[in-house]
Structure formats: C-alpha cells, structure tokens
Structure 1
Amino acid sequence: MNVLRRFLERRASPSGAGDHYDPYYAALGAAGASSGVMVNPDTAESISAVYAAIAAISESVGSLPLDVYRRTDTGREKARQHPLYRLLHDAPNGYQTALELREQMQRHILLRGNAYAEIVRGGNGQPQALLPLHPDRVTILRNQVGNLLYDVTDESGRVRRLLADEVLHLRYHTDDGIVGRSPIQVARDTVGLALAERTHGSKMFEQGTKLSGVIEAPPGLSKEQNTQIRESWAAGQEGVNNHGKTPVLPQGAQYKPVSMTLEDAEWIEARRLSVEEVARLFRVPPVLIGDLREANYSNAVELGRYFVTHTLRRHLVAWEQGINRVLINDPARFYVEHNVEALLRGDSLTRAQFYERGINDRWMLRSEVRRLENLPAIEGIDDEEAAQRPIE
C-alpha cells in the first residue's frame, strides 16, 4: 500500500453509525445479571473457577513454543533468521517476553472476546515489535471502502487511528465477524449466579455464620426501643469473631430464625455446580481448575489430551491464522505453528512404546527421538550398523 493511499484511508470517516463498534466492556459493565449482581470482566475474574479456567488456557497458550517455519522441498525447517521469529520466541517489545505478551492477549480474548496488538514495522515492511492494546481502549470502525480502522484512546484521552494491517486482532465467538464475544458476555447470568452464591456465603460469615431471623419483642415497646434491641443484637452477634457467644435478650424478647440453613439451601452443592458450569463455559476439564472429584491416575493423561484437542486447539489455530494473515509478508514460503508435542507426550512408558513403534516401522529415526526428548545428538546413531551397537 503506497503512502498516499495509507494517508487517505487513515483520514477516512466511518461510513455510518451502524459501522461504529464500541468496546464490549462498556456495554457489559452497564448491565447486571438476573441474579441482581453486576457482571463484568473484573467481577467475573474474582470467581476462583473463572480465574483458574482463564489461567489454564492463557498460561498454556503463552508457554507453548510458537515458531516460524520455512517451506522446503523436503518439508520444512525453522526460520530462526526471520524477523518475526524473535518477536514470537523471545521478546515482542522492549518490556515484555513472548510468553507475557501471548498470555496477556489470550486473557483479553477470554475475558473480553477481543485481543489487539499494534504492529510496529520497519522500513522494509517487516514487523519489528508487537505492542499490546487494552481492548477497553480500542474502538473499531469501517471506512467507505469497507476496510476496518482501529481508534485507540490513550490515558490522556488522545485518539489515534491504526489501519487493519497495523493491528493483530484476535476474536472469539464473533457474531458479525468484526467484534468478538467472551463466554462471560454470552453467559452473564451463569457467572452472575456464581457471584451471588459467593456473596451469600460471605455474608453468612460476616453475620456470625448464622442466617437472619427476627427478634419478637414484648408488646408496649416504642420504635426507638425496638431499634436499640436490634442494634444491640447485631453488635454482639454479627461477625466471625462473635460466633459462639451466648446472646442475652431483654426480658420477654425471643429470637426466631426465619431462613434456611446452609445445609437446607444446599449451598455447598450449588457452589460445586457453579464450578462445573464455569468449566463448561470455557470448555476446560474440571480437574484442571481444581475439581478433583472425577479425576484419577488412569484418566489424567486422557484429560490432558482432551484439553489440548477440545480446548486449546481452537485458540492455537486462531493465533496461527491471525499471525499468518497480517504478520507474514511471504505466506508462500513462511508460516507459524505451535508445537504441542510436550502436552501430548504422555507418561514415560507410553512415549517409549510410541518411539519403539516408530523406529521399528521406519517412519521415525533414533536421532529424532533424542531431539524430541531433549537429549544430545549422537553422531551416526541413525546408521544401521551403529544402531545395533549399545550406546555408551
């Protein structure tokens, strides 16, 4: 794109009100769930199950190797000299590691449905840095020719406009193909119920681990006397530190509970159900977010494979396709891909049987096995004669 065209596109006005896409966080934060609590990314993340699910996905995505490959006549090879290799493998900018940037952007995807990174290019058009942008500060517009524009608001309120090829934009569960939606936005009532249950339990301990009741006062007391009795009861009984103290009521007054106990309300079971529902929203096996009721030694490996196949795969492919689309200038020769082998390796016995089958069937070399196991290379190990000799 020449300089004049880029200038005109940057100055172009949105085509209409219908093509102005505000950050979703503002709309989400303005609405409460049917449970009566406010649900937004900050309150939702305060739920331990939500935090654990987001951490399990974002930490896995951020820590997996993401390499640049060059296509060759015989297959492929790592393109360590490609400018993008350093950004994705080591440091994308002057203040973050590659893991920190990818983990941060993956958290934005799960919490807000969108993740943005500004692409800083050199004079040759190759990317030199990736700068994360907070989704709450980004507004998407569409110009007259249908191209997307990104207005970024900084802390001082100044707005600057970025073109589509200057932004790495990753979306999640989008309806219009432009703005993504997070599980928190889609299932606001489910998250709101978990928040309400947690608040309910907190209030029980704040008020002395007892549910509320009524004090039946003797007839003839004034409104002020009734108020004094209620305040005296609250001061002496509310709070964990007052739990177990013996109350003393005025003569003729009686205390009568009017609410169900925690056991009657099955509060604990409801909390467990909330964990399962959060796991379902983020498609994470419950065992990975601390629910060990269905976990055992025999299914641990299978749960890990399920996590890679049904949870991580969608996010990994989104990263790869997004980067290949806007950051790779020569897609016919170069592309990026994650290495998920470490998450699928299984236990030692399973790996040994897998390698043995590959070597015996001649679709894997001994040198490849050592490389996958991070063992030093042995010269001549793939020779038929050397393969018969014991390794010292």
Structure 2
Amino acid sequence: MKNFFNRRSFLKDTVTAAGGVALLSSLPKKSIAGYKAEPRIRFSVININHSHIYGMIGAVTRGGGQLVSVYAKEPDLLANFTKQFPNAKVAKSEQEILEDNSIQLILSSGIPDERGPLGVRVMKHGKDYLVDKPGIITLDQLAECRKVQKDTKRIYSIMYSERFENKATVKAGELVKAGAIGKVVQTINIAPHRMSPKTRPEWFFDKKRFGGIITDIGSHQFDQFLYFTGSTKAEVVASQIGNINFPQYPKFEDFGDIMMRGNGGTGYIRVDWFTPDGLATWGDGRLTILGTDGFIEVRKNIDIATEHKGGNHLYLVTQKETKYIDCNQEILPFGQQLVDDVVNRTETAMTQDHCFLATELALKAQKNAQVINSFK
C-alpha cells in the first residue's frame, strides 16, 4: 500500500512539473485516471429505461470499450440517448444487434422484469452482458440465467454501482484487503433514496415489474456484504418490507431491512424511499465496516456532519488513529477490469458466483420478508 501511494504522489508531482507533459504522454493511457483507454472491444446497448445506462457506458468506455449501436422501443428515451452519443448507430431491432458478430458485450438498463430474459438471449448469441441492477427479479429467472451462463460460459455481470462507481467504497475495499481494520466482523449498509414520484414511469410503482424494494435497491447492499466480509456462502436471517407512506401506490414498497449471516461475517441492511427534499442529494448512503482492530465508515454521497462537500468521504478508525480520507481522486477500476475479463475470459471485476449469490440473497430476502403495512 505504501508503494502504491508513493507511486501516485510521484505521478502527480511529476505531471505538474515542467517536464511532466512528456512523461504523461509516454505512459499507457489506461493507467492514468481520467483518460479514456484505447478501444479493445465493441459494445452495444439494448433498452434504456433507466438513466443508469449512462454511467454504465462511461465505465466500459473508460475501460476500453467502443460504443457501436443502440436499440430502444421508446422514441423519447432514444432521442435523449442519441444526443449524448450521436455516433451510436440506431438499430432497427434487438435482433440486429444480437446478430452483429463484431460486438462482444451488451449493456442494458431496461425495465427490471425484462433484464433477465434479455440476458439469456444475449448469452445464447455468444455475447457477454452487463445489466443495471436489479439484474434479475425472480428465482425462476435466476435459475435460467445460471443454467445458460454455465452452458455458454458467457459473462453475466450486474452493475452494482454503489460499490463499483463510488470511489470511497473502492478505497474501503483497498483498506480492508490491506488489513487496516483486522478481520471484518459485520457490515451495516444504510441506503435511503428520494422518491420524486412525478419523475417516475408507471412500471416503477408495480412490484411485478421492479421486483420489490429489497430485490431492487437491496441488491447493491448484498453485493457489498459479500465483498467486504469475504463470504462465499450466506443466509438471510430475517427480513421485512412495507409500504408505509404511499397508499396511492398499492403495488409499491418504500421500506425494507434485512439481517444476514455469511461464512465471513454478519450484516444488516436498511433500504427506503424516505430521503427528504431538504437534502442536497438523492440519499445519504452510508456503509460501516466493523473489524477486529478498527472500523471504516463510508459516507457515499454527502457528509451532513461536516463542511466536506460532495461525496466520497471515508473515516478510518484503528488502534493508532482516527483519520478522514477524501476519496475523490481515487481510480474506479471496474470498467477496465470488465473489459479485461471480456478479452481474457477471466473474473477480475467480479466472479460469476458472487454476482449470482448477491442476487439470490436479495430475491430470497424479498420473497420471505414479513410485511409491514402501517404503524399504530
């Protein structure tokens, strides 16, 4: 870790020096944060019903992917997309993209209940798949995706962006792996979201389409629980869900929480749609990682207790010190790792077992949750 930080300091100091420009131009672009890597794969997009697709494209492009084409049924969504990516060819059908043998990877942020079946079709056409969360919304879909993935050996990856695209969470992973807080005992994940019902499409309020609050938001948190505890097996101890404040949307859920236990540690998750309008961001997401020799707290999007601006805040408490770390300059490795995996047929970004297990836990917690409808 010391060598890593020394190297970063050297690069920063050298680049700002008089001779730094020459050095920077001689280094591989993919090794410098903020530079777009040279294209190594071609990818396309099918279905763009959630704006997460833009972050997904950004990650893959940074990693060395070249966007080729897009297909979407909705003219308004397509118009906004092509403004952002005018060089992307607009395909006439999903099949046109699936049958293009020059494309290695498909991205999608379609309506959640359509994501798993699309992934099956993608893999059967010999392509890898990166899908927005929730990547799968029923246990039957999961079983089919697992079977086809095993048969085809294609990558079925879910964009758990609260880990992959949050720099403070990436930094927390580095610290945990370096042993900064000893052995991890528990993770606590708090994931509030802002409702903003006027901005939401009709499917957003239908559980059959979005899968339920734990299936949807909670998939992020199960991913982090498995990752930080190092668990390869886990079970849901208890879960509960409810629609506490939105009776006008009877098929919706606005609250859920879960206790779980894995072979590497324990965890607690709370997800909700109660972020008030007075907060300067969509949710005060927090992750606490308890270890035998210390703990880490990540404040992902905002730090309301201090004057620190924006997101990506990390607090590290060890036997020797309490330290604040601004993580805004950290590198996000997921995009490059995923492209590496597509090219090399490896599992550096995320193992397939981990991807599916995080989803399985969320689906089981959702299915078996006790229901809370109101409080007296």
The normalised TM-score by structure 2 is 0.22
TM-score, normalised to structure 1, is 0.22
Q: Larger helix proportion, structure 1 or 2? A: 1
Is the strand fraction higher in 1 or 2? 2
